[in-house]
Amino acid sequence: MSANREMDHQEPQEQQDPRSDQDGQEKEQPRRRQARGERRIAQLLEAASDVFTTAGYTAASTNAIARAAGVSPGTLYQFFPNKEAIAIELGDRLMHELREMYGEALAPVDPATPLEEAVNSAVDRFIAFNCAHPAFFSLMHGPDIPGRLAEEHDALHASLLARTEVLLSSLLPDAAPADLARTAHMCLGVYKAGLELVLAHEGAERDAYVQELKHLLVRYLDPLVGDRPGAAGAPRTGR
């Protein structure tokens, strides 16, 4: 039972960013990149995406990433200060792309929209994104993600949660906030579970799982909004 609190490992070093002069510019390095460099960065991120997806963050070695990109480890470290930065840059790019997309995926809380339609639209968009960028899932849901990425994921998750809550609260105005939050958590958890199943299959079977996930969410939420005007139509289509 002795809860031993002090582990023995520490990070190799805590690099200090020598160019942090104290004028407000904490921005990017004044490093001049040539076109070749940008290409290398894209190459490396592409390779990192593959390696992270198949091996997970921790198990992915920087040497493997460099090799997958066809360069030497030294070259990799010309463009990224450390392994974490690779994951962060990759995560940032994917996160940016995602935010552009989901801004219009959950935002329209048009109260007249049928529940089924809203669910279908949101699920379709997110599934499409996650299928197109499988690295996103492993980077966000891996057990070993570095702190910075975990923060980003938490922020994204909180944001999704808030949006879902707003959407739900417009569907069921008379619900305790705690219940609302729980329901939103359940929705996201269910989506994640469905996503795993979707990603594990391909072709027609994958589509069938997408359908099943939509059904699941609709059936979960439908009884809650059963007495709303426009929604909850199609009373139990035998399917």
Interface residues with its own copies (CB under 8 A)?
A: 1-4, 7-9, 46, 50, 56, 58-59, 61, 63-64, 67-68, 70, 138, 142-144, 178, 182-183, 185-186, 189-190, 192-194, 196-197, 205, 208-209, 212-213, 215-216, 219-220, 222-224, 226-227, 235-239
In angstroms, give the least distance from the CB of 47 to DNA.
12
CB-nearer residue toward DNA: 62 or 120: 62
The closest alpha carbon to 163, from 115, 122, 112, belongs to 122
- With CB under 5 to 8 Å by kind, the binding choice for 75 among DNA, its own copies, none is DNA
CA–CA separation, 64 and 214 (whole Å):
38
In angstroms, give the least distance from the CB of 16 to DNA.
10
Q: Are 87 and 45 within 8 A, CB to CB?
A: no
Tally Cβ neighbours within 10 Å of residue 232: 19
DSSP 36-87: HHHHHHHHHHHHHHHHHHHH-TTT--HHHHHHHHTS-HHHHHHH-SSHHHHH
Please provide the distance, in angstroms rounded to a whole number, between the alpha carbons at the two ends of the chain. Answer: 53
In angstroms, give the least distance from the CB of 118 to DNA.
42
CB-nearer residue toward its own copies: 25 or 72: 72
Q: Are 153 and 140 within 8 A, CB to CB?
A: yes
In angstroms, give the least distance from the CB of 176 to its own copies.
11
CB-nearer residue toward its own copies: 104 or 196: 196
CB-nearer residue toward its own copies: 26 or 207: 207
Q: Are 146 and 11 within 8 A, CB to CB?
A: no
Angle at 139 between CA 136 and CA 143, to 5 degrees: 140
- With CB under 5 to 8 Å by kind, the binding choice for 82 among DNA, its own copies, none is DNA
Binding site residues, DNA, CB under 7 A: 7-10, 12-13, 15, 31-38, 40, 60-64, 70-75, 77-79, 81-84
- With CB under 5 to 8 Å by kind, the binding choice for 83 among its own copies, DNA, none is DNA
The closest alpha carbon to 212, from 184, 183, 239, belongs to 239
